[in-house]
Amino acid sequence: MTRLLPDRPATWMDVAAGVLSAWLLVATLRRVEALSLPAAGLAFAATLLALGPLARSALGERAGAWFDAIGFRGRGFVILGFAAVVLLARDLALVPSLPVESLSAGVFLAVVAFVPAQALAAGGVAGWRA
């Protein structure tokens, strides 16, 4: 299992991302009337692959190095910019909301599952041990 997870313990930023993802997942599930389970499942699997084995590949390590190099503000800009594009596309009806909400739910669920698995595999969160 450890080959599927990063070779570092979860950080408190990872924990915060997990908590935020849980909140966003609940908010999404309360807001929508239906989800496409195939789309949510696809996003769940793709996110787990991206966070785990693909992040440990050469391409994943280069992307991670770039993401680290752009700094905290740069990462925030990229994440918020992506979220803004998705929300605008959904709200302007450029993209149907069912696939967007379904894919989002799958991503949120994957992060909620991944963070505790990473912490358990590493024996805790960086700076804190169980």
pLDDT digits (tens, 9 = 90+) for 74-103: 888 888 888 788 778 777 877 788 888 899
110, with CB counted inside 10 A (0-12, 13-18, 19+), is buried
Per-residue pLDDT tens over the stretch 36-76: 999 999 999 999 999 888 888 889 889 888 888 988 788 88
What is the Cα–Cα distance from 49 to 43, expressed in whole angstroms? Answer: 10
Instruction: List the domain boundaries for the chain.
Output: 9-129
Could you tell me the pLDDT band of residue 129, with boundaries at 50, 70 and 90? low
pTM above 0.85, yes or no: no
* pLDDT per residue as tens digits for the range 98-118: 888 899 899 999 999 999 998
